[in-house]
């Protein structure tokens, strides 16, 4: 089993994959991406991830020159070559190689470059998190909308470093209005007065695939859920907090700004919700994702 990279249809070991130095993704972070996890050889939530990739491309004025079946075929080929069980898949599209190291789109001769990273999945869903609310602000929607999943991630990199300097394992950023947004690569839910509250998209966050699933899943579990603006002080009085993401599923928060929640352990609801969410994922894989993925690959081979 190996860590592989598919660059424009050519599969190579991750350590041997190469892109030109004038690639705009390398030079300027001029790229978009998605992270998908697989169960066996089936990507979970592929339709949502593909749709979000298309939205990100449109936001960056990046025309995609491959359709969904073609990309799915490359993903499947790379997964098969890697030979893992459950896998981490990172799909990256850069604007391609420019004619000069100039930010002007007039120098973006293209075409887009497609990269697929496949690694064995080693992140454990449900792993506990220690959060710190950092001073670094989330990028404003009017500057570079966080709803666009671009390769420009320095804001998150520095915020996470700040949190780790304070002994935490992840950060929580606020926006310019002082409202909570999200963690470095995850959305946040806080239980306040019996309601699971999560920041709205208008706060300047990524529309997480798992977040969207949870907004429908939580009421099915008899839980109340609300999208609303949250102040940092509210989180410090929350009954329970968890992060959500493709790789984490539901990750309970045990500490906030150095203060132990639940005696430094995991709250009562998150483990129950995680177990039921895993059952929901298994059902969706069986009833929807697996047959839909097989149909997509079949369409791409015709």
Residue 131 backbone dihedrals phi, psi, to 5 degrees: -105, 150
Instruction: Give me the helix-helix angle, 269-284 and 209-220, nearest 10°.
Output: 110
What does R_g of the chain's alpha carbons equal in angstroms? 20
What is the predicted pLDDT for the residue at 54?
98
Model pLDDT, residue 302: 42
Contacts of 62 by beta carbon, 8 Å cutoff, 6+ apart:
30, 32, 56, 93, 95, 112
**Phi, psi angles (nearest 5°) of residue 43:** -70, 135
Spot the catalytic one: 49, 149, 248, 269.
149
pLDDT single digits (tens) 152-193: 999 999 999 999 999 999 999 999 999 999 999 999 999 999
Residue 300, pLDDT score: 65
Per the annotation, the verdict on 164 as an active-site residue is no
Q: How many CB atoms lie within 10 A of CB 126?
A: 18
pLDDT attached to residue 122: 86
Task: Work out the number of other CB atoms within 10 angstroms of the CB of residue 263.
Answer: 7
Residue ranges in the chain whose pLDDT is less than 70:
1, 300-302
Query: Is this prediction's pTM over 0.85?
Result: yes
Structural domains of the chain, ranges and CATH numbers in brackets: 4-120 (3.30.470.10), 129-282 (3.20.10.10)
Cα–Cα distance measured from residue 29 to residue 152, given in angstroms and rounded to the nearest whole number: 5
Q: Which pLDDT belongs to residue 85? A: 87
User: Rounded CA gap, 209 and 36, in Å?
Assistant: 10
């Amino acid at each position: 089993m190996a860590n592989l990279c598919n660059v424009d249809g050519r599969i190579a070991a991750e350590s041997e994959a190469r892109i030109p130095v004038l690639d705009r993704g390398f030079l300027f972070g001029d790229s978009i991406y998605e992270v998908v996890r697989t169960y066996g050889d089936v990507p979970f939530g592929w339709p949502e991830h593909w749709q979000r990739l298309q939205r990100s491309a449109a936001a960056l004025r990046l025309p995609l020159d491959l359709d969904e079946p073609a990309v799915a075929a490359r993903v499947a080929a790379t997964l098969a070559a890697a030979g893992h069980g459950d896998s981490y898949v990172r799909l990256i599209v850069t604007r391609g190689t420019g004619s000069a190291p100039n930010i002007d789109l007039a120098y973006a001769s293209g075409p887009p470059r497609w990269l697929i990273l496949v690694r064995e999945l080693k992140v454990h869903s449900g792993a506990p998190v220690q959060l710190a609310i950092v001073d670094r602000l989330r990028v404003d929607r009017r500057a570079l909308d966080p709803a666009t999943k671009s390769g420009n991630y320095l804001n998150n990199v520095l915020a996470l470093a700040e949190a780790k300097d304070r002994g935490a394992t992840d950060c929580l950023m606020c926006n310019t209005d002082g409202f909570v947004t999200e963690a470095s690569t995850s959305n946040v839910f806080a239980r306040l007065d019996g309601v699971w509250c999560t920041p709205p998209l208008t706060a300047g966050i990524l529309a997480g695939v798992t977040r969207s699933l949870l907004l429908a899943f939580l009421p099915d579990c008899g839980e109340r859920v609300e999208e609303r603006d949250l102040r940092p002080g509210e989180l410090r009085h929350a009954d329970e907090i968890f992060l959500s993401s493709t790789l984490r599923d539901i990750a309970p928060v045990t500490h906030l700004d150095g203060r132990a929640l639940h005696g430094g352990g995991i709250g009562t609801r998150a483990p129950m919700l995680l177990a039921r969410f895993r059952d929901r994922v298994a059902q969706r894989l069986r009833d929807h994702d697996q047959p839909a993925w097989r149909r997509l690959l079949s369409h791409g081979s015709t």
